[in-house]
Chain A
């Protein structure tokens, strides 16, 4: 589908942090979904993939490891809320980086569909 959510996947609030990145992520779908159908398929910094164990997912004031999302059938991501990806990138040098996020959704009433949304953003040190 022409995926109109791409342009809002990564919000302007994304920024570099002392240890890496903080990504302000919007749900690329029209209605609330539980985290069990949300998958962080990949984060790259300047083209280099970040290992999943260096990323954590924050929503509704709680923080999760990526591997935990699949079980979270009761943790709902409302359409107006941001989730935050905390990305550890120790040793990241320079004050300007390009981040790319690929987020997959598995809409729970459309069996067999993988909804892939990908967006890039240039991040500069504040």
Chain B
């Protein structure tokens, strides 16, 4: 590739990677920011509003001032504020479109108040919701884009519905946030090993893996698993543990991202582990990064370590290893 087409992918981290350090009360929010900066895991910084900010989506002036001060102090750059479409806040019914719009508005205002250029949204909100939020996004100059996360891929029905909306509205503020876990090769072995370590029988794991490879959405995969296990008296906690794999990774082809590349506003560099030889198991980074360089993506990719679900490893180490791998791959272009 010529030097004029240098990769425009910038690296950063999401605080989601440090869920264990934060949840275990080992690092406060401010200490996480300081350590991310000290270990040079930025400059991009992504935050999940409902994880890091008490009282979210309300953000006080004092919090916003302090956040901006810390970003400057640590030379970090806000990349994306992850917001949520909590459609089933009531378990027995979905929010109406009006309720969803009202639920998103303060979250988008929070993104603007904290200096985030992107609000990562979720497909739990249908396209009408984003369409109605566009005037606010324009007023605040915040980009909106749902995350294309497993089990979805670029051609899944909810994504296609958004693509149709975007074709009609043609707004540079509307896009997508690809998560590399949507285009995984397989479920990483360390993840399967944790299921084995819980004493889950191998045939149950293999049944779940077979279903994982099927071209179904996650609700259908869960239903399929429930059906195949019916009559076996499997503990609901085991079914829950097994069926989680349907929502964390899916096997869509890496090159499929090219279909939506001009609308990519942020990227989640999902990974579960980095081997000692520096490669990520289950997710093909050399191929994925090549696709994004080829597609001309310019923007941040948050290193999103999700191995904290089962691993006690230091998230700071894992993110550092992931970024070293990405730098090495990108340097070759």
Contacts and interface: CB of A to CB of B under 8 A. Distances in A.
A111 B218 CA distance: 10
A80 B89 contact: no
Nearest to B248: A1
Contacts of B118: none
Contact of A37 (B85, B89, B218, B245): B89
A109 B247 contact: no
A39 to B, nearest CB: 9
A116 B237 CA distance: 6
Given A1-B245, A79-B22, A116 B88 contact: no
Interface stretch (B50-58, B67-75, B282-290): B50-58
Given A4-B309, A31-B51, A32-B50, A108 B19 contact: no
A70 interface: yes
B88 A8 contact: no
Contacts of B19: 30
B37 interface: no
A78 B54 contact: yes
A112 interface: yes
Contacts of A33: 50
Interface stretch (B190-198, B261-269, B317-325): B190-198
25 contacts: A1-B240, A1-B241, A1-B309, A4-B20, A5-B23, A8-B23, A30-B23, A30-B51, A31-B50, A31-B51, A31-B84, A32-B56, A34-B89, A36-B91, A37-B89, A78-B55, A79-B51, A80-B23, A106-B88, A106-B91, A111-B88, A112-B218, A112-B222, A116-B237, A116-B241
